[in-house]
Structure 1
Amino acid sequence: MKNKSLGKNAFLNGLRSVLNIIFPIITFPYVSRILSVGELGKYNWSNSFVSYFWLIAGLGIATYAVREGAKLRNNRKRISEFASQVFSINILSTVASYVLLLLCILIFPKVQSYSACIYVFSIQIVFTTLGTEWIYSIFEEYTYITVRSIVFKILSVIMLFIFVRKQGDYLNYAGITVFSAVGSNILNYLHAKKFCTIRFTFKIDWKAHLKPILIIFASSVAAKIYLSLDTTLLGLINNNYVVGIYSVSTKMYDVVKQLIAAVLTVTIPRFALLWGRNRYREYRKLLLQISDVLALISIPAAVGVFMLAPQIVVLLSSAKYIRAVSSLRLLCPALIFSIFSWIFTSCVLIPAKRENKVLIITIISAAANLILNLLLMPSLEENAAAITTSLSEAISMLLGIYYSKDIIKRLYDKGFWKDILLYIFGALAIVVICICGNAIFKSTIRIILFDVILSSLEYALILLGAKNKFALDVLEYILRRFK
């Protein structure tokens, strides 16, 4: 099989991420004005609760499947056998997750008050399993995924304006969210036959699959604790209003993080392929390039979100959510920490089959998150959740560096750190521009337009002036396309 262009895949996955961003940018301001803060809190709490059972159903299979399947993709018989076994394990774990979900609803009175919304969100569990999206990651088929996303996002936006018209329509909003996320997964399952034959089987090599899957799953559970437990605890310790406020912060944070991570996501199968075939020189070169590009993007993005937090909150929700500004700003450091943590776990430790190290990292990060949340949340509420998320991501990143040190030894040279200083200098210039924008304009939209356009130009000019390789490559590509 011919290798797909990483540049093209990054663009397509970036486009898909932009679509995932545009959907909440279009829908969230509308929904936050239609629904009450409490209803939005109930929606987000239910989604967060179901995500634990979605995680149980997933069982870490997607990460394992991409890592191992990337090495088999040139042999249809072997990849079909592998995919069928992994898919069958996924079906069994999905059944188990539904049983546990129903038991929780029956046993806990607090959960029963959210049951209707929980049932709606639970639909995504089975459709995610049937979607077998890991197949498309193995074969780097981002064109199909992108086209599919465009169609279903457009349909979802239309449905939103038809079915969410008044307070009380939060269940309709939940249903449309599920449709947007996993509505196309039946098509995924059918279309996957182009690459391999997937069927349910009881002939599973449990000895080969179970141990790495469970280690990755345990890591995923621990990661989920420090990524989603904050919302769950806010609902239990505080109230739906606080959850509603924090959901605005996390929505904006997730939007930016998702866009940055689009560059990284498409490279994970390539890292698994290069490491699996012992092509270590190419692997290290790609790792250095990806680290540099993500630093170039994430550092100014975090600074820009911090400076524009009040305008972002007002524009994408309303003035009644202005309290979310502080927690959004406290989440900004996590944008950088989480991206680099992801590099070391998904691009270094997982391809190197060090799932046990990833498990240690996530357990320590999750424990820190849980303890700090319990201590700080009663007094600091949503700000405590934001602080602990940033700290947990920092811990995860530092531990990732520690456990990867033999692989990345002498990789990050003086040139890399010189680039980091350049990106920090460019980010400081963004601060100056944003201060000027706030002083000159009063209109939210004008401030955002002035700050974003001028900051982007300023950052690009600083990179080009310093002869940054990535910036020069992009400029050369643009000029070549014009010619």
Structure 2
Amino acid sequence: MKEKSLKLNAVLNGFRSILNLIFPLVTFPYVSRVLRADGIGKYNFSNSVVSYFLLIAALGITNYAVREGAKLRDDREKFSIFASQVFTINFISTLVAYILLFMCLFLFKNLRAYKIAILIFSLQVFFTTIGVEWIYTIYEEYVYITVRSIAFKVISMFMLFLFVRKSNDYLNYAAITVFASVGSNILNYLHSKKFCDIRLVSGVDCIKHLKPIFVIFATGIATQIYVNSDITILGILKGDYSVGIYSVSSKIYNIVKMLAQALVIVTVPRLSMLLGKSRMTEFVNLLSRVTNILAMITIPATVGLYMLAPQVITIISGVGYMRGVSSLRLLCPALLFSVFSWILAYCVLLPSKREKYFFTAAVISAIINIVFNFVLIPIISENGAALTTSLAELMMLILITYHSRDILSKVNLRSFLKDIGTYVFGAIIISLLCFLVECYCEIILVQLVLAVLISVIVYVLVLFLFKNQLCIEFLDKIRKNNEFES
């Protein structure tokens, strides 16, 4: 199979993620004002409940399929057998997830008030399984994924403004969210015939995949607990209003995190393929480059978000949500920790078949998160949830770095630390610029726009001043292209 351009894939996946971000950025300010904190709280609590059953249905299959399928993608017959076995496991796990969901709705009375919203969100379980998106990740088909996303996001946006107009329209918002995220997955299943012949097969053929899948699944459960337990516990201990306030901070935090991850997630199948074929030099070089790019983006973005938290929250959700500024700032360290732990987990541990270490790290982080949530949320409400998330993400990063140390030792550490120092210096300047803009300008929107524009320009100048290798390579390519055209 002809290798697709990682740069093109990164651009396309970044663009797709930007679309995924634009949808909530455009719609959330409208929705948060229409539904208010209570409506947003019900929406997010229902979504957080269903997320656990989505995890049961997913069963860690996507990460396993990408890792193992990337090695077989050049052989249609072998890949078809593999894909059918994985799809069969996914189908069975989906049935189990629905059975458990209905049992919970029957047994737990406090969930019945959210029953309709939970059932609407549960449609994601079936459509995610049918969508077989892992096939498109394995074959790096980001053109198809991007075009599909544009179509469904645009349709969903129109539906939102048509059907969400009153404070009790949170069910309509839930249905539109489901349509936007998984509405195209039937098309995915039909289109997958281009790459393989997928069907349900005998369970005996699938047994060999179960052990690594269950380890990855257990890791996903632990990860989901420490990602979502804050909202769930906050809802139980403090109610819908606190969840609504925290949801704004959490939404902004997740938007920035998703955008940073989207720029490098396209490298996961390529890294899995290189490691599977024992091409270690290429693997380490690509890992170093990806990590460097991630640091270059994430460090200044984290500092900028911390400094501009009041402006961001005011513009996105209004002054009624200003209480969320402190929780957003407490989430900023979590942003930095989570992005780096993510790349080490998915680009090092999983491709090198060290999922048991990822599982151990996730369990320890989940325990820390749950314990501190119950301690801090009763005292400082949503700020406790945010602080606990940062602590859990820090522990995750420390543990994953430890278990990746042998592979990381092959990276040119001196060069990497030099670049990190440059990024930190640039981020310090960004913080000063944001402070000065806020001092000399009173209009919130102008503050945000000016601070971002000036910070980007100055940060790029700092990178060139310190002769950042990525920037120098970028200039060399532009120069060569100009010479070629002339």
| TM-score normalized with structure 2 length | 0.98
Alignment match, 2:40? 40
Alignment match, 1:333? 333
Instruction: Please give the alpha-carbon distance, in whole angstroms, between the structure 2 residues aligned to 1:119 and 1:480.
Output: 56
The structure-2 alpha-carbon separation of the partners of 1:124 and 1:478, relative to structure 1 and needing over 3 Å to count, comes to farther
8 A contact 2:88–2:203 mirrored in 1 = no
1:80-114, CA deviations, whole angstroms, 9 ceiling, x for partnerless residues? 00000100100100010001000101111111111
Which runs of structure 2 are paired with 1:429-440 in the superposition (5 Å)?
429-440=429-440
SS for the counterpart of 1:35 is helix
Alignment match, 1:114? 114
Q: CA deviation at 1:479?
A: 5.7
SS for the counterpart of 2:263 is helix
Instruction: Please give the alpha-carbon distance, in whole angstroms, between the structure 1 residues aligned to 2:296 and 2:69.
Output: 31
Instruction: Please give the alpha-carbon distance, in whole angstroms, between the structure 2 residues aligned to 1:479 and 1:119.
Output: 56
Alignment match, 1:57? 57
1:303-349, CA deviations, whole angstroms, 9 ceiling, x for partnerless residues? 00000000000000111000010000000011111111012111111
Alignment match, 1:420? 420
SS for the counterpart of 1:214 is helix
Instruction: Please give the alpha-carbon distance, in whole angstroms, between the structure 2 residues aligned to 1:399 and 1:188.
Output: 37
Q: CA deviation at 1:474?
A: 3.0
Alignment match, 1:353? 353
The structure-2 alpha-carbon separation of the partners of 1:324 and 1:183, relative to structure 1 and needing over 3 Å to count, comes to same
SS for the counterpart of 1:323 is helix
Alignment match, 1:244? 244
Q: Partner letter of residue 199 of structure 2? A: R
Q: Partner letter of residue 357 of structure 1? A: Y
Instruction: Report the RMSD for the aligned CA atoms in angstroms.
Output: 1.1
8 A contact 2:85–2:206 mirrored in 1 = no
Instruction: Please give the alpha-carbon distance, in whole angstroms, between the structure 2 residues aligned to 1:304 and 1:234.
Output: 27
Instruction: Please give the alpha-carbon distance, in whole angstroms, between the structure 1 residues aligned to 2:226 and 2:234.
Output: 13
Instruction: Please give the alpha-carbon distance, in whole angstroms, between the structure 2 residues aligned to 1:477 and 1:40.
Output: 47
Alignment match, 1:133? 133
SS for the counterpart of 2:231 is helix
Query: Structure 1 residues 108-117 or 471-480, which shifts more?
Result: 471-480
Instruction: Please give the alpha-carbon distance, in whole angstroms, between the structure 1 residues aligned to 2:109 and 2:479.
Output: 63
Alignment match, 1:202? 202
Instruction: Please give the alpha-carbon distance, in whole angstroms, between the structure 2 residues aligned to 1:105 and 1:380.
Output: 30
Q: Partner letter of residue 254 of structure 1? A: N
The structure-2 alpha-carbon separation of the partners of 1:83 and 1:204, relative to structure 1 and needing over 3 Å to count, comes to farther
Q: CA deviation at 1:176?
A: 0.5
Which runs of structure 2 are paired with 1:312-391 in the superposition (5 Å)?
312-391=312-391
Q: Partner letter of residue 122 of structure 2? A: S
Number of aligned residue pairs: give it.
Answer: 483
Alignment match, 1:392? 392
Q: Partner letter of residue 246 of structure 2? A: Y
Alignment match, 2:152? 152
Q: CA deviation at 1:480?
A: 5.9
8 A contact 2:313–2:324 mirrored in 1 = yes
Q: Partner letter of residue 146 of structure 2? A: T
Instruction: Please give the alpha-carbon distance, in whole angstroms, between the structure 1 residues aligned to 2:480 and 2:339.
Output: 31
Task: Give the share of equivalent positions with the same residue, in percent.
Answer: 52
The structure-2 alpha-carbon separation of the partners of 1:30 and 1:404, relative to structure 1 and needing over 3 Å to count, comes to same
Instruction: Please give the alpha-carbon distance, in whole angstroms, between the structure 2 residues aligned to 1:343 and 1:165.
Output: 40
Q: Partner letter of residue 31 of structure 1? A: V
1:128-163, CA deviations, whole angstroms, 9 ceiling, x for partnerless residues? 000000000100111100010011000010000110
Alignment match, 2:403? 403
Q: CA deviation at 1:166?
A: 1.3
8 A contact 2:34–2:166 mirrored in 1 = yes
8 A contact 2:130–2:186 mirrored in 1 = yes
Q: CA deviation at 1:206?
A: 3.6
Instruction: Please give the alpha-carbon distance, in whole angstroms, between the structure 1 residues aligned to 2:43 and 2:476.
Output: 47
Alignment match, 1:259? 259
The structure-2 alpha-carbon separation of the partners of 1:287 and 1:143, relative to structure 1 and needing over 3 Å to count, comes to same
The structure-2 alpha-carbon separation of the partners of 1:475 and 1:453, relative to structure 1 and needing over 3 Å to count, comes to farther
* Residue segments in structure 2 that go unaligned for 5+ positions in a row: none
Instruction: Please give the alpha-carbon distance, in whole angstroms, between the structure 2 residues aligned to 1:203 and 1:102.
Output: 25
8 A contact 1:85–1:204 mirrored in 2 = no
Alignment match, 1:81? 81
Q: CA deviation at 1:380?
A: 1.1
Alignment match, 2:222? 222
8 A contact 1:215–1:355 mirrored in 2 = yes
Q: CA deviation at 1:204?
A: 4.2
The structure-2 alpha-carbon separation of the partners of 1:151 and 1:476, relative to structure 1 and needing over 3 Å to count, comes to farther
Instruction: Please give the alpha-carbon distance, in whole angstroms, between the structure 2 residues aligned to 1:216 and 1:189.
Output: 24
Instruction: Please give the alpha-carbon distance, in whole angstroms, between the structure 2 residues aligned to 1:22 and 1:207.
Output: 41
Alignment match, 2:190? 190
Alignment match, 2:277? 277
8 A contact 1:127–1:183 mirrored in 2 = yes
Instruction: Please give the alpha-carbon distance, in whole angstroms, between the structure 2 residues aligned to 1:268 and 1:388.
Output: 29
8 A contact 2:89–2:206 mirrored in 1 = no
8 A contact 2:86–2:206 mirrored in 1 = no
Instruction: Please give the alpha-carbon distance, in whole angstroms, between the structure 2 residues aligned to 1:11 and 1:132.
Output: 22
Instruction: Please give the alpha-carbon distance, in whole angstroms, between the structure 1 residues aligned to 2:401 and 2:203.
Output: 39
1:113-136, CA deviations, whole angstroms, 9 ceiling, x for partnerless residues? 110110110011100000000000
Q: Partner letter of residue 367 of structure 1? A: I
* Residue segments in structure 1 that go unaligned for 5+ positions in a row: none
Q: Partner letter of residue 152 of structure 2? A: F
SS for the counterpart of 1:467 is coil
The structure-2 alpha-carbon separation of the partners of 1:146 and 1:103, relative to structure 1 and needing over 3 Å to count, comes to same
Q: CA deviation at 1:475?
A: 3.6
SS for the counterpart of 1:407 is helix
SS for the counterpart of 2:407 is coil
Alignment match, 1:13? 13
